[in-house]
Structure formats: structure tokens, C-alpha cells
Structure 1
Amino acid sequence: MIDITDFSKKQMIFIFPLRGDKLSFKNDNVIVKDKDGKIKHQSTCYRLFVIFIVGDITITSGIIRRAKKFGFSICMMTQSMKLYEIIGSRMEGNTELRKKQYEYNSIDLGKNIIINKISNQRIALNKIRNKNEYTKEVIKKLDEHKLKLKSRDFELTELLGVEGSAARIYFSQIYNKVDWKGRKPRIKYDYINTTLDIGYNLLFNIIDSILQVYGFDVYYGVLHKCFYMRKSLVCDIMEPFRPIIDLKIRKSINLGQCKKEDFEFINNQWLLNFKKSTEYVSFFMEAILEYREEIFKYIQGYYRCFMKQKYAEEFPVFKLK
């Protein structure tokens, strides 16, 4: 099983193929060729952790065998960066881990995940320069939400209610310099919500890939209820890491990297112009890769604690820098 030393040397590659592009291999190297056979990209299989392919491409059967042999995954995504298939390396036979997953029936881990998330939301708001009085008040309210969660036991619906309350006041301030009308996932209500969906989707896919390395049943979570074809555990694990994306978007708006003009309004949805996809993936991956080791260590620690059936308080905590 991969460890942090190996993981830190691994590469995550994004490919945005054009019509006629082909993914193949040569001498233990992954190669992307255009329709004329010209090499556009080449990477050694020994250093690959995951390849994300955004759009349509031709894949040879040989590259699938290499993915299994060298232990990397190929994540297939639509042009809107929605994951629809993972090919290659994944550990599906960790039956002891999955047995422990299915037997776990406490809300304690879920509560700790939410407390960790609110802590990082607080850190994100504290990074804002020249905070106004309302932002300072929201930071105090987030502290109150954390204390409330720590003070007693909660039912799942109550826990999610506290999380939702914290999220509403947090988002109102993390995007207080723009015309923010609320978080509305997946309906692409405005360009900021669409950008959040893109960033969260990239973070989701990376966490999904690492969880599958350890053999987790990613459909079985501790906070999000099991629902048909929803990767509930991935949704759980990414919660404390969401502020990485939130903060990056705020900075990118301030720097002019993320702007309304990059999007098109089609069928009542704000969609990113595909020509801008590489730029957006680049600044999101810059933020995510800054925390790549922390993300890996968190999941590694989560795995070890789950296997040893430790108390919720002993599970890992992620802290935003």
C-alpha cells in the first residue's frame, strides 16, 4: 500500500484532449498523441498517481493494463468536469475494512468532521484583510456553533442543521465583495456557484482516488446518508477541505483570475467557457496541491484509526494553513 513518501513523489496529470487525440503507452511511458500521431504529452508510469481526462479521447487496452501494473488511476470526466468512470488501480478486496465500515453506526465521527470544517471556515474568514464588524461577528458565531456541537450529543438532522446555519453566515462573508445570493449546489445559479462546483469536483475526485487506494467503500459514509450512486464517504471526507476551494476563489476573484466574463449563460445555467477550463483547473490545482500531503495523511490516518476502531476524538484533524 502506498505511503506518504511515495505519494509525495507522484504526479497528478490533467489532460484536455482535442478531437482525434489518443492515450497510449511506450516503454513504460504514458503518451498523448494528436490525430496526426504527434506526441503532445509524455509521463513515466513509475511516477503517476492519477490521470484526469476532461473530455473525449481514445484509450488503448495496453494503457489500462499499465494502469493496473503501475498502480495509477485514469479518471474519466465530462467537459464540465463531472467524473463518470475510474479505470485502473483501486483496492477492492479490503474486506476487513469494509466490514468495519458497515458495522459503524455512531454519529460521533460525523460530528467531529463538521467541527473540523467549521474550524477551517473560521480560519478562512480570519485570513480576510481589513475585516468589517460583521465579519468579526460571524467569526464569533462560528465559535458559538463549534461550542454548541461540543456541548452535547446530536441527532443527524440537528447536526446538519447546525452545519447549514454555519455555512450560510460563512459564505455571506467569504464572498462579501461580490453580489453573493447564497450557495446553490449543482444548479449553476451564478458564476461563483459554478466555480465552486468545479473546484469542489476536482477536490472530490482527488479524495475519491486516494480513498479507493485504501479499499474503502466510498458509497458508505458516516455523515452523509447512503443514497443510490452517491459516494457518501467522499462527501464526508472532503468537508474539512472545502475552505481550500472557497478561499482560492475569493483570491482569484480579487486577482481577476475568476470573472463573470469567462462564463456563458446557457439554458438558465452559468457554464464555464471550455477554452478557460485549463486556466481554472490550474489555479484550483495550485491550491489543492499545496495541501496534497495533508490530504493524504488525513486519509491515511482515517484508515488506520478505522481499522483499529479508535474513538472519534483520536481520528485525524485537518487545519487550514
Structure 2
Amino acid sequence: MTELLNTLYVQTQGAGLYLDHDSVRIRTPDDESRRTLPLRRLDAIVVYGHVNISSELQARCAEDGRSIVWMSRAGRFLSRMEGPVRGNVLLRHAQHQIHDREQTRLAIARAFIAGKIQNSRQIMLRGARDVPDADRKRDIRANIKECETYLADAAGAVSVDQLMGIEGKTAQTYYEAFGWMLRPDNDTGPMRGRNRRPPTDPVNALLSFLYGLTRSLVHGAAEQVGLDPYVGFLHSLRPGKPALALDLMEEFRPVLADRLALTMLNRHQVQARHFETLPGGAVNLTDEGRTIVLTEWQRWKQREWKHKLLKRGVPAALLPVVQARLLARHLRGELSDYLPWIPA
């Protein structure tokens, strides 16, 4: 159990959270003592795996507008609760209408992919500069050139399906370079492409965990602004699939998740001992590993990044809110285009 910057993270399996007047009472199986935290100190509660939350506490959090996020023990996003929907119906109505306009939807989807490719390119440029091995530098730079070609292809895409194909090729090229950016003395082993559901090596396990945190952040931003997280422009509609949250997440993956993963691995903050292999081959972070990553994630969210449109620094935790507001302005016709966030 960890309280970090107004967010309570609970990963002790079998723990229970209960409402106790204006506080949350925490019980753990191996500790008879009771710990309480004032609810006014908490903006969000995030639980991993088998953690029980009483219906009374859920109702109070919904009433207060305090989010509760459920994650799998491996860090995969499962669900989010935040009480009554915020925002006005006119914005969501405009969002639904634009989803049905093929060319407008395509233009927004192109922007999401352009942001992802540009930010992936930034990570690779940094990696090519930092890796000492000349052969790795050459290979990373070759992949950068390849992604620049995909960026041009995305600008000329004539359908969302074509865009998704370009995104897939970009991801394959990018994750190949990502493996080369890991230091050779990293004891978690090499990364040979992206694998998930479940991840089968420590690097992919760390990426999946950070992607889950990023997704929760972006999903919350969409709801905060009043957008419908389930009606997107790039990802297809499917019951229970937060398509817009996945759309907005694309431009943030490289900087918020991938760069943090590289930093933690190359600095040996996360090591092989912080992972466990489960029956069947799935790899997860251990409890200690999750605590380390969550601590660094909270620090990472406080880092300010320059926003070109706003012409000032914005904490990473607020960047998804800024972008969701820019998207809302575009949907309402106040901005001619949606501009993805790219670090200055």
C-alpha cells in the first residue's frame, strides 16, 4: 500500500478498503492493525489484483467525484469509476456526429498517428545519441529514417484502416530500435519486439504496466473534459472498449511510458529481481518492483514539458487534460484542426 501525491495505490492481495466516516480504513491479511486515511487527502484510489472495496466506499467516492481505478496484478487497466458523467451533452453530441463524418474523422485520426510517430522518432533520436555502440547507432538511425517514411504515408492515408496498418509497421520498427537502446549490462535481458497479453519478458512487462497507468491517466482526462471515452476516431468502436482514450493515448506512449521505462532500466532502478515468471510463461513485476515503478511514475508525472501551443511548461499529469480540451475545442468548431502534443 502506497500513498503518493494524493493517490492511494493498493497492491497487497486480499486487502480491504472500507468507509469509516470521512476516512478510508485499510485492512490487510497479515496485519491486525487498522490504518485510516482522510478522504479529503485523496483524489484517486488505484487497486491491483485481488483488493476488496466496500460498496459504501465506492458510493462515497462516486458522490465526491473521486476516481477508483481497477488494474490487474500485472498492471493491465481493467475499469475506472468516477461517478456522474461530467461535461455537457452538446460536446458529446458533436463528438458522435463527427465520428460519422468520414473525412473529418480521418483528419483527427491522422493527427493521433502523426503525434505517435513524431514522439517515437524523438525517443529514437535520443537513443541514437546516447548509445555508445557504433553499430547500434547506425541501426537506430536507419529505423528513424524508416519511421519518417511512415509519417509521410500517414499524412496521405485515405482511410482509417490504412492508418492502422501504418501504425502497425511503425510500432514494429520502433520496438526493434527500443531493444537496441537498452544498455547491454541491463540484467533484465534483451527485448525482441513487443509482446503482451501476457508479456513474456521483463521489458515488455514493464512497458505493459506503464501503458496501463498512461491509459488510466488519459481516460480520466477525457471524462474530466466531458468527452465520451468510448467514441474514438482511430480505434474501432466495440462494447467496453474506450476507443477515444486509446486514441489520445497514442501520442503519449513514447514520452510518458517508453522513455520512463528506458530510464529506469538503463539506470538499473528496475532489475531482474523485480520480476517474476508465472506458470505458463507470463512475466509480472513483483510487489517490490511495482512500488519502485509507481514511485517513479508519480515523480515523472510532476515533470514539466513545454507545450508549443500554450507556449509554457505543463506537468506531465496535466498534458492529457490539455490535449483533451484542445480536441473538445476542435469538435465544437473553435479550432480548425486537432494538433497532437509533441515536446518542444
Alpha-carbon shift at residue 93 of structure 1 (Å) = 7.0
Q: Which residue number in structure 1 is paired with residue 46 of structure 2?
A: 52
Answer yes or no: is 1:299 the counterpart of 2:324: yes
> Share of identical aligned residues, percent?
19
Q: Which structure 1 segments of 5+ residues have no match?
A: 1-9
**In the alignment, does 2:221 pair up with 1:210?**
yes
- Do the aligned residues in 2 keep the contact of 1:118 with 1:142 (CA within 8 Å)? yes
Shift of 1:211: 1.5
Task: Compute the displacement of 1:55 (Å).
Answer: 3.2
Q: Distance in 2 between matches of 1:233 and 1:144?
A: 26
Aligned partner letter, 1:317: P
The correspondence for 1:162, drawn from 149, 154, 166, is 166
Aligned to 1:113: 112
- Give yes or no for contact 1:19–1:56 (8 Å, CA) kept in 2: yes
TM-score by length of 1: 0.84
Match for residue 252 of structure 1 among 264, 281, 294? 264
Q: How far did residue 305 of structure 1 move?
A: 2.4
After TM superposition, the structure 1 = structure 2 runs for residues 12-91 of structure 1, keeping only pairs within 5 Å, are: 12-26=7-21, 28-34=22-28, 38-40=33-35, 42-45=37-40, 48-91=42-85
> Cα deviations across residues 2-61 of structure 1 (Å, max 9, x unaligned)?
xxxxxxxx83332224535333244x444434467744352442x543211223344344
Alignment partners' CA distance in 2, 1:137 and 1:41: 54
Query: Is 1:264 matched with 2:268?
Result: no
Which of 130, 140, 148 in structure 1 is aligned with 2:145?
140
Task: After TM superposition, give the deviation of residue 252 of structure 1 in Å.
Answer: 1.4
Pairwise CA RMSD of aligned residues? Answer: 2.6
Q: Which residue does 2:312 correspond to in 1?
A: none
> SS of the residue aligned with 1:266?
coil
Cα distance change on mapping 1:48 and 1:54 into 2, 3 Å: same
CA contact (8 A) 2:207 2:258 kept: yes
CA contact (8 A) 1:29 1:44 kept: yes
- Give 1:89 deviation, angstroms: 2.9
Q: Which moved more, 1:120-129 or 1:53-62?
A: 53-62
Name the counterpart of 2:200.
189
Residue equivalent to 1:4: none
Indicate if the aligned counterparts of 1:126 and 1:139 stay in contact, CA closer than 8 A.
yes
What whole-Å deviation, never above 9, does each CA across 1:290-321 have from its counterpart, x for those lacking one? Answer: 3112222112222232233643x3x2421246
Closer, same or farther: CA 320–12 of 1 in aligned 2, 3 Å: farther
Q: 1:169–1:82: structure 2 CA closer, same or farther, 3 Å change rule? A: closer
8 Å contact from structure 2 (residues 48, 73) kept in 1: yes
Corresponding residue number in structure 2 for 1:280: 293
Shift of 1:186: 1.9
Distance 2:332 2:23 in 1: 35
Letter in 2 for 1:201: G
Shift of residue 236 of structure 1?
0.4
Distance in 1 (alpha carbons) for counterparts of 2:117 and 2:97: 27
Q: Secondary structure at the match of 1:301?
A: helix
**Contact 1:114–1:163, Cα closer than 8 Å, also in 2:** yes
Shift of residue 117, structure 1, vs aligned partner: 0.8
Amino acid in the other structure paired with 2:119? N
TM (normalized to structure 2)? 0.79
Distance change (3 Å), C-alpha of 1:159 and 1:271: same
Post-superposition Cα deviations, 1:59-109, rounded to whole Å, max 9, x if no partner, equal 344433432343211122332233434334341673222222221132110
Q: CA deviation at 1:139?
A: 2.2
Partners of 1:83 and 1:174 lie apart in 2 by 23
Closer, same or farther in 2 for the Cα pair 1:84/1:280, shift >3 Å?
same
Against the structure 1 CA distance between its residues 12 and 302, is the aligned structure 2 distance closer, same or farther, given a 3 Å change threshold?
farther
Of 200-209 and 214-223, the range deviating more from structure 2: 214-223
Deviation of residue 289 (structure 1)?
A: 4.3
Residue type of the partner of 1:305? H
**Unaligned ranges ≥5, structure 2:** 183-188, 304-315
**Residue-by-residue CA offset, 1:276-300 (whole Å, 9 max, x unaligned):** 3222322334334431122221122
User: In the alignment, is the contact (CA less than 8 A) between 1:83 and 1:205 conserved in 2?
Assistant: yes
Between the two proteins, the alignment pairs up a number of residues equal to: 307
Partner of 1:3: none
